[in-house]
Structure 1
Amino acid sequence: MQTNIPNTLFCFVFTLFFSVVLHAQEVETNSIPVRSEKDSIAPAIDSDEISKQLQQQDTVKTDSVRKPRFLTDVVNYTAKDYMRLSPKDNKMYLYNEAKIDYGDMTIEAGLIIIDNERNEVYAYGITDSIGEYTQKPIFTQAQRKVEPDSIRFNFDSQRALVYNSRTQEAEFNVKGMVTKRENDSVYFMKNVRFTTSEDVDNPEYYFYARKIKFVPEKKIVTGLVNMYIADVPTPLGLPFGYFPLTDEETSGFIIPSFGDSQYGYNLQNGGYYFAISDYVDLLTIGSYFTNGSYTLEFSSNYANRYRYRGNARIRYEKLFNSERGFPDFSERSSYNLQWSHNQDPKANPSSRFSASVNLGSSEYYAESINQANQGNYLNNTLSSSVSYSKTFPGEPQVNLSLAARHSQNTRTQEINLSLPTLQLSMSRIFPFAPKGGAKKGFFQNINLQYNLRAENQMNTVDSLFFKSEMFKDARLGAQHSIPLSTNFKIFKFLSVSTGTSYEETWVSKTFERSYDPIIDDVVVDTISGFDSYRTYNFNASIGTTVYGLKNFGKDKKIQAIRHVMRPSVSYNLNPAFDRFYDTYERDDPNTEDIVELVDYSRFDGTLYGAPGKNFSSSIGFNLSNTFEAKVRDKDSTAIEPKRITLLNNLSISTSYNLAGDSLRLSPIIIRGSIPIVKNKLDINFGGNLDIYALNNNNRRIDKLNIENGGSLFRLTNGTVNFGYAFSSKDFDGKDEDDTDDLDNETYRNGGRPDDLFGKGMGPDGELFDDDPFEGKETENENGWYNYKVPWDVRLAYSMNYSNNARQSDISAHSIMFNGNVELAPKWQVGVSSGYDLVNNGVTPTQLRFQRDLNSWMMSFSWVPFGDRKSWNFLIRIKANVLSDIKYEQRRAPDRRL
Structure 2
Amino acid sequence: MQTNLFNIVLSAFFLTLGVGKIYSQDIKNPPKLLTPLSQQDTATVNLKDVEKIAEITPPDTAKVKKPLLDSKIKYKAASYAKLNQKKQEIYLYDKAELYYQDIELKSGIIVFNYEKDEVYAGRIKDSTGAYTQLPNFKQGSNVIEPDSIRFNYKTKKALIWNSRTDQGEFKVKAEISKRINDSVYFLKGAKFTTAKDIEDPEYYFRTNKIKFVPGKKVVTGVTQMVIADVPTPIAMPFAFFPMTTTNQSGLIIPTFGDTRNRGYFLQNGGYYFSLGDNYDLAVLGDYYTNGSYALRGESSYAMRYKFRGTINVRFEDQIFSERGFPDYTKTKIYNIQWSHSQDAKSNPNSRFAASVNMGSSKYFRQSVSQLNAGSQLNNVLNSSISYSKTFQSVPQVNLSLAATHNQNSNTEEINMTLPTMQLSVDRMYPFVKKDGIKKGFIKNINLQYSLRGENRYKTTDSLFFKSQMFKDAQTGFQHSIPLSTNFKIFKYFSASTSVNYNEVWYLKTIRKSYNSLTAKDTTVTVNGFDAFRTYSFSSSLGTTVYGTFNLGENKKIQAIRHVMRPSVSYSYTPSFDKYYDTYAADGSGTMDKRYTRFEGGMFGAPGISNSNNIGFSLSNTFEAKVRDKDSTKTEPKKVMLLNNLNFSTSYNIVADSLPWSPVRISGGTVLFKDKMNVNFAMTLNPYAIDNNGKTINKFNIDNGGSLFRMTSANMTLNYSLSSKDGKDKKKENVQGERNGGRDDDLFGTNTDFSDRRQSQFKDEEEDEDGEDKFKGFFNAELPWDMTLAYQLTYSNEGRQNTISGNSLMVSMNADLTPKWKVGVSTGYDFVQKGITYTQFRFERDLMSWRMDFNWQPFGQQAYWSFFIGIKSGVLSDIKWEKRTTPDRVLR
**Global fold match (TM > 0.5):** yes
- Describe the SS at the equivalent of 1:444: coil
Q: Using the TM superposition, give the Cα deviation of residue 122 of structure 1 relative to its aligned residue in structure 2, in angstroms.
A: 2.4
Distance 2:541 2:181 in 1: 90
Q: Using the TM superposition, give the Cα deviation of residue 8 of structure 1 relative to its aligned residue in structure 2, in angstroms.
A: 12
Q: Which residue of 2 is the match for residue 883 of structure 1?
A: 876
CA deviation profile, 1:629-681 (whole Å, cap 9, x unmatched): 21211121212111212122211100000000110000000011133134332
CA deviation profile, 1:108-144 (whole Å, cap 9, x unmatched): 3333334567554322223445543333222235765
1:760 aligns with 2:750: yes
Paired positions, count:
831
Distance 1:272 1:818 in 2: 38
Distance 1:780 1:826 in 2: 9
Amino acid at match of 1:207: F
Higher relative contact order (CA 8 A, sep 6+): 1
Amino acid at match of 1:774: E
Amino acid at match of 1:665: W
The two structures, once aligned, show a CA RMSD in angstroms of 2.5
Asked if structure 2 preserves the Cα contact closer than 8 Å seen for 1:673 and 1:684, the reply is yes
Q: Which residue of 2 is the match for residue 660 of structure 1?
A: 655
- Describe the SS at the equivalent of 2:370: coil
1:785 aligns with 2:778: yes
- Describe the SS at the equivalent of 2:602: coil
Distance 1:824 1:7, change over 3 A: farther
Q: 2:729 aligns with which of 734, 737, 741?
A: 737
Q: Which residue of 1 is the match for residue 143 of structure 2?
A: 145
Q: Which residue of 2 is the match for residue 747 of structure 1?
A: 737
1:774 aligns with 2:765: yes
1:621 aligns with 2:611: no
Distance 1:157 1:566, change over 3 A: closer
Distance 1:754 1:879 in 2: 26
- Describe the SS at the equivalent of 2:702: helix
Matches within 5 A, 1:1-150: 3=5, 68-70=67-69, 72-80=71-79, 82-85=80-83, 92-102=90-100, 105-115=103-113, 120-140=118-138, 144-150=142-148
Q: Using the TM superposition, give the Cα deviation of residue 764 of structure 1 relative to its aligned residue in structure 2, in angstroms.
A: 4.9
Q: Which residue of 1 is the match for residue 286 of structure 2?
A: 287
Q: Which residue of 1 is the match for residue 464 of structure 2?
A: 465
Structure 1: state its 5+ residue gaps: 11-65
Asked if structure 1 preserves the Cα contact closer than 8 Å seen for 2:765 and 2:772, the reply is no
Distance 1:295 1:779, change over 3 A: closer
Q: Which residue of 2 is the match for residue 600 of structure 1?
A: 595
Asked if structure 1 preserves the Cα contact closer than 8 Å seen for 2:372 and 2:739, the reply is no
Q: Which residue of 1 is the match for residue 626 of structure 2?
A: 631
Distance 2:227 2:676 in 1: 49
Distance 2:670 2:761 in 1: 35
CA deviation profile, 1:715-748 (whole Å, cap 9, x unmatched): 0111111212111122xxx423232x6x712212
Q: Which residue of 2 is the match for residue 893 of structure 1?
A: 886
Distance 1:267 1:6, change over 3 A: farther
Asked if structure 2 preserves the Cα contact closer than 8 Å seen for 1:764 and 1:888, the reply is no
Amino acid at match of 2:161: Y
- Describe the SS at the equivalent of 2:256: strand
1:514 aligns with 2:513: yes
Asked if structure 2 preserves the Cα contact closer than 8 Å seen for 1:98 and 1:108, the reply is yes
- Describe the SS at the equivalent of 2:585: strand
Distance 2:751 2:175 in 1: 42
Q: Which residue of 2 is the match for residue 259 of structure 1?
A: 257
Q: 1:689 aligns with which of 672, 684, 691?
A: 684
Q: Using the TM superposition, give the Cα deviation of residue 327 of structure 1 relative to its aligned residue in structure 2, in angstroms.
A: 2.9
Q: Which residue of 1 is the match for residue 837 of structure 2?
A: 844
Asked if structure 1 preserves the Cα contact closer than 8 Å seen for 2:782 and 2:818, the reply is no
Amino acid at match of 2:739: N
TM-score (structure 1 length as normaliser): 0.88
Q: Using the TM superposition, give the Cα deviation of residue 68 of structure 1 relative to its aligned residue in structure 2, in angstroms.
A: 4.6
After the TM superposition, which of the residue ranges 613-622 and 180-189 deviates more from structure 2?
Answer: 180-189
Q: Using the TM superposition, give the Cα deviation of residue 3 of structure 1 relative to its aligned residue in structure 2, in angstroms.
A: 3.0
After the TM superposition, which of the residue ranges 792-801 and 218-227 deviates more from structure 2?
Answer: 218-227
Distance 1:584 1:114, change over 3 A: closer
- Describe the SS at the equivalent of 1:643: strand
Distance 1:68 1:653, change over 3 A: closer
Amino acid at match of 1:885: I
CA deviation profile, 1:524-557 (whole Å, cap 9, x unmatched): 1222111111000000110111112222222222
Matches within 5 A, 1:554-569: 554-569=553-568
Q: Using the TM superposition, give the Cα deviation of residue 107 of structure 1 relative to its aligned residue in structure 2, in angstroms.
A: 2.2
Distance 1:652 1:125, change over 3 A: same
Q: Which residue of 2 is the match for residue 718 of structure 1?
A: 713
CA deviation profile, 1:761-803 (whole Å, cap 9, x unmatched): 112583654873523697888x572222211111111111111
Distance 1:68 1:275, change over 3 A: closer
Identity of aligned residues (%): 53
Asked if structure 2 preserves the Cα contact closer than 8 Å seen for 1:819 and 1:831, the reply is yes
Q: Using the TM superposition, give the Cα deviation of residue 175 of structure 1 relative to its aligned residue in structure 2, in angstroms.
A: 0.9
Distance 1:424 1:229, change over 3 A: same
Distance 1:697 1:557, change over 3 A: same
Amino acid at match of 1:112: I
Distance 1:641 1:88, change over 3 A: same
Asked if structure 2 preserves the Cα contact closer than 8 Å seen for 1:862 and 1:872, the reply is yes
Asked if structure 1 preserves the Cα contact closer than 8 Å seen for 2:373 and 2:741, the reply is no
Q: Which residue of 2 is the match for residue 801 of structure 1?
A: 794
Amino acid at match of 1:352: R
Distance 1:430 1:773, change over 3 A: closer
Asked if structure 2 preserves the Cα contact closer than 8 Å seen for 1:759 and 1:768, the reply is no
Distance 2:105 2:713 in 1: 76
Distance 1:183 1:536, change over 3 A: closer
After the TM superposition, which of the residue ranges 547-556 and 783-792 deviates more from structure 2?
Answer: 783-792
Distance 1:461 1:867 in 2: 24
Matches within 5 A, 1:388-403: 388-403=387-402
Amino acid at match of 1:692: Y
- Describe the SS at the equivalent of 2:251: strand
Q: Which residue of 2 is the match for residue 432 of structure 1?
A: 431
- Describe the SS at the equivalent of 1:860: strand
Amino acid at match of 2:372: N
Asked if structure 2 preserves the Cα contact closer than 8 Å seen for 1:556 and 1:632, the reply is yes
Q: Using the TM superposition, give the Cα deviation of residue 155 of structure 1 relative to its aligned residue in structure 2, in angstroms.
A: 6.4
Q: Using the TM superposition, give the Cα deviation of residue 391 of structure 1 relative to its aligned residue in structure 2, in angstroms.
A: 0.8
Q: Using the TM superposition, give the Cα deviation of residue 241 of structure 1 relative to its aligned residue in structure 2, in angstroms.
A: 3.8
Distance 1:370 1:174 in 2: 35
Matches within 5 A, 1:126-525: 126-140=124-138, 144-154=142-152, 159-261=157-259, 262-525=261-524
Amino acid at match of 2:222: L
Q: 2:643 aligns with which of 640, 645, 648?
A: 648
After the TM superposition, which of the residue ranges 272-281 and 510-519 deviates more from structure 2?
Answer: 510-519
Distance 2:276 2:153 in 1: 42
After the TM superposition, which of the residue ranges 280-289 and 868-877 deviates more from structure 2?
Answer: 868-877
Asked if structure 2 preserves the Cα contact closer than 8 Å seen for 1:97 and 1:110, the reply is yes
Q: Which residue of 1 is the match for residue 50 of structure 2?
A: none
Amino acid at match of 1:657: N
Distance 2:334 2:10 in 1: 70
Q: Using the TM superposition, give the Cα deviation of residue 98 of structure 1 relative to its aligned residue in structure 2, in angstroms.
A: 3.2
Q: Using the TM superposition, give the Cα deviation of residue 72 of structure 1 relative to its aligned residue in structure 2, in angstroms.
A: 3.0
Q: Using the TM superposition, give the Cα deviation of residue 304 of structure 1 relative to its aligned residue in structure 2, in angstroms.
A: 0.6
Distance 1:780 1:474 in 2: 60
Amino acid at match of 2:98: I
Asked if structure 2 preserves the Cα contact closer than 8 Å seen for 1:207 and 1:225, the reply is yes
Matches within 5 A, 1:566-585: 566-585=565-584
Q: Which residue of 2 is the match for residue 45 of structure 1?
A: none
Q: Using the TM superposition, give the Cα deviation of residue 154 of structure 1 relative to its aligned residue in structure 2, in angstroms.
A: 4.7
Distance 1:851 1:8, change over 3 A: farther
Asked if structure 2 preserves the Cα contact closer than 8 Å seen for 1:773 and 1:852, the reply is no
Amino acid at match of 2:805: A
Asked if structure 1 preserves the Cα contact closer than 8 Å seen for 2:503 and 2:533, the reply is yes
Distance 1:528 1:95 in 2: 95
Distance 2:214 2:740 in 1: 48
Distance 1:351 1:265 in 2: 51
